[in-house]
C-alpha cells in the first residue's frame, strides 16, 4: 500500500519520531546530542513551533510539537538534513543517517497531550539509559529535567542581553523554585523582558498541574512517576482506530464497519477528531484547486509588482529585488498553488537547494507573502 500524505496545519499537535538507518546510532556522544538540540532550538524559535516534550535515544528521537505558520515538513527537513550533514562530517561517514522519512501522528490534545509528554519523557527509563526516576530527574537528554528545573533547558535561546540572564535564572537559580504563581512570568524571571517560546511552552505544561510553581513541579513529577508501571504504552506509539481505543480491540469486534468510529493511521484521537482533521485537509485541497492562478501567471504578476524583468529573474543576478521575487514565487508556488520544488526550480532557473532556501527565507516574512498573495488573486 502506498504511503499516505502527511497531515499538517498550523496549531496541530504532532508526535514526531525518526530512527537511524538500520537502527544504527544517530547520537554517538554528548557532542552529537548537543549539536542536535542547538539546531532544534534555533529552528523552533525561527518557525514559532512549540516543543512540549523531547527525548534523545541513541538510535532515535521523539518530539511532541505544535506547529506555527511553518509546515512540519519544512521544519523537519531543516532539522534532519542539517544534523545529518554535521554528523557525517564529524564522524567521517557518508550516506543516509535516518531510516526512511520521519513518522508524524496528529494527536487530539485533551486526552493525549499530558499522556504523550509522560510517555516521551519516560523513554530514557524504558530504554535503560537511566536506572530510576531520580536519575531521570537530572537526565540532560530529555525534556523532563528542564520542566523540573533540575537542568538548564537547551531549547531556550537568549533573545536579548536581559533575556539571556532570564534564561539562566529560570533554569538554574534555586530561589526560582520557591512558591510563586506559574502564570506570572515576572515572578518566575525577576524581569519583564521578552522570554523565549521554549520557556513559555514549559510554563504551559506546568499550568496543567497548578498555579504555584513548586507545587506544579511536584505534581508533574508524581504524574511521571505514576506512568512508570504502565510500561511501554504501544497505544501511544502511532495512530489509528485501535490505538485511539486504548489498544483494545474488544470494543471493536462484532461491529459493522459503518457503525465504527472513523479511524486513520496518521491520527491519534476520537472518531469526531479524525473526521474534523480529514475534513479540514479536504477543504484545504479544494481551496487549492479552486485557485485559477497558475505558476507562469504567478511569476508574471510577482515580477510586475516588484518592478523587475523576467530576464533578471532567471539570470544569476543577486539583486535584492530579484532575490525577493524568487523567494516569494517559491513560497507561494509551493504553499498556495501546490507546485513541486522541481517545477519551481525549472521556471526560476535555480538549484533545488536554492528553491528550498527561498522558501525558508519567505517563511520569515510570511505576513508580507500573504499580503502579496491577497493582492495577486
For residue 247, the model assigns a pLDDT of 47
Please determine, for residue 275, whether its predicted confidence score (pLDDT) is greater than 70. no
* 279 compared with 254, residue with greater pLDDT: 279
By residue count, the chain amounts to 377
Please determine, for residue 18, whether its predicted confidence score (pLDDT) is greater than 90. yes
Backbone CA torsion sign across 358, 364, 365, 366: positive
**Confidence bin at 374 (pLDDT 50/70/90):** confident
Please determine, for residue 239, whether its predicted confidence score (pLDDT) is greater than 70. no
* 113 compared with 362, residue with greater pLDDT: 113
Please determine, for residue 62, whether its predicted confidence score (pLDDT) is greater than 80. yes
Name the CATH superfamily housing domain 1-238: Transposase IS200-like (3.30.70.1290)
The mean of the pLDDT values for the chain is 79
Taking residues 120-130, what's their average pLDDT? 96
Between 127-141, 260-274, 297-311, the lowest mean confidence (pLDDT) is in: 260-274
Between 181-185, 353-357, 360-364, the lowest mean confidence (pLDDT) is in: 181-185
Domain extents in the chain: 1-238, 239-250+260-289, 291-376
Q: Which cell numbers in the block locate residue 305?
A: 509588482
Distance, in Å, from the CA atom of 230 to the CA atom of 118, rounded to the nearest integer, reads: 11
Taking residues 12-36, what's their average pLDDT? 94
> Which span out of 86-90, 183-187, 286-290, 367-371 was modeled with the highest average pLDDT?
86-90
For residue 85, the model assigns a pLDDT of 95
Please determine, for residue 290, whether its predicted confidence score (pLDDT) is greater than 60. no
For residue 110, the model assigns a pLDDT of 82
> Which span out of 23-27, 175-179, 351-355 was modeled with the highest average pLDDT?
23-27
For residue 158, the model assigns a pLDDT of 66
Q: Does domain 291-376 have CATH number 1.10.1750.10?
A: yes
Closest by alpha carbon to 104, among 16, 7, 163?
A: 16
Distance, in Å, from the CA atom of 346 to the CA atom of 299, rounded to the nearest integer, reads: 12
- The CA-CA-CA angle for residues 209, 210, 211, to 5°, reads 145
For residue 369, the model assigns a pLDDT of 80
Taking residues 44-57, what's their average pLDDT? 93
To which residue does cell 519523557 refer? 121
* 45 compared with 255, residue with greater pLDDT: 45
Distance, in Å, from the CA atom of 69 to the CA atom of 10, rounded to the nearest integer, reads: 5
CB within 8 Å of 282: residues ≥ 6 apart: none
Digit-coded pLDDT (tens) for 170-193? 444 333 334 456 654 434 433 434
**Confidence bin at 292 (pLDDT 50/70/90):** low
SS3 state of residue 14: strand
* 362 compared with 190, residue with greater pLDDT: 362
Q: Which cell numbers in the block locate residue 182?
A: 506559574
To which residue does cell 469526531 refer? 272
Amino acid at each position: 500500500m502506498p504511503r499516505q500524505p502527511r497531515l499538517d496545519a498550523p496549531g496541530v499537535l504532532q508526535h514526531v519520531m525518526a530512527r537511524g538507518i538500520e537502527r544504527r546510532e544517530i547520537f554517538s556522544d554528548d557532542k552529537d546530542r548537543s549539536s542536535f538540540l542547538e539546531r532544534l532550538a534555533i529552528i523552533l524559535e525561527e518557525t514559532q513551533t512549540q516543543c512540549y516534550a523531547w527525548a534523545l535515544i541513541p538510535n532515535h528521537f521523539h518530539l511532541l510539537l505544535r506547529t506555527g505558520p511553518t509546515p512540519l515538513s519544512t521544519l523537519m527537513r531543516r532539522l534532519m538534513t542539517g544534523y545529518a550533514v554535521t554528523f557525517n562530517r564529524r564522524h567521517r561517514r557518508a550516506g543516509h543517517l535516518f531510516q526512511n522519512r520521519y513518522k508524524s501522528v496528529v494527536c487530539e490534545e485533551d486526552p493525549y497531550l499530558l499522556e504523550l509528554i509522560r510517555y516521551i519523557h519516560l523513554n530514557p527509563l524504558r530504554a535503560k539509559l537511566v536506572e530510576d526516576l531520580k536519575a531521570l530527574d537530572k537526565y540532560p537528554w530529555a525534556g523532563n529535567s528542564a520542566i523540573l528545573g533540575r537542568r538548564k533547558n537547551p531549547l531556550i535561546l537568549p533573545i536579548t542581553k536581559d533575556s539571556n540572564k532570564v534564561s539562566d535564572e529560570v533554569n538554574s537559580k534555586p530561589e526560582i523554585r520557591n512558591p510563586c504563581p506559574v502564570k506570572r512570568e515576572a515572578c518566575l524571571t525577576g524581569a519583564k523582558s521578552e522570554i523565549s517560546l521554549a520557556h513559555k511552552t514549559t510554563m504551559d505544561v506546568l499550568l496543567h498541574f497548578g498555579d504555584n510553581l513548586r507545587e506544579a513541579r511536584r505534581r508533574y513529577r508524581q504524574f511521571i512517576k505514576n506512568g512508570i508501571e504502565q510500561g511501554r504504552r504501544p497505544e501511544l506509539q502511532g495512530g489509528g482506530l485501535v490505538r485511539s481505543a486504548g489498544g483494545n480491540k474488544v470494543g471493536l469486534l462484532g461491529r459493522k464497519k459503518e457503525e465504527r468510529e472513523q479511524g486513520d493511521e496518521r491520527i491519534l484521537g476520537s472518531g469526531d477528531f479524525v473526521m474534523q482533521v480529514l475534513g479540514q485537509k479536504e477543504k484545504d485541497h479544494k481551496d487549492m484547486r479552486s485557485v485559477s492562478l497558475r505558476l507562469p501567471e504567478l511569476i508574471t504578476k510577482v515580477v510586475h509588482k516588484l518592478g523587475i524583468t523576467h530576464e533578471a529573474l532567471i539570470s544569476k543576478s543577486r539583486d535584492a529585488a530579484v532575490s525577493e521575487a524568487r523567494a516569494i514565487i517559491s513560497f507561494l508556488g509551493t504553499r498556495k498553488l501546490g507546485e513541486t520544488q522541481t517545477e519551481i526550480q525549472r521556471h526560476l532557473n535555480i538549484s533545488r537547494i536554492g528553491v528550498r532556501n527561498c522558501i525558508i527565507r519567505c517563511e520569515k516574512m510570511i505576513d508580507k507573502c500573504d499580503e502579496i498573495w491577497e493582492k495577486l488573486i
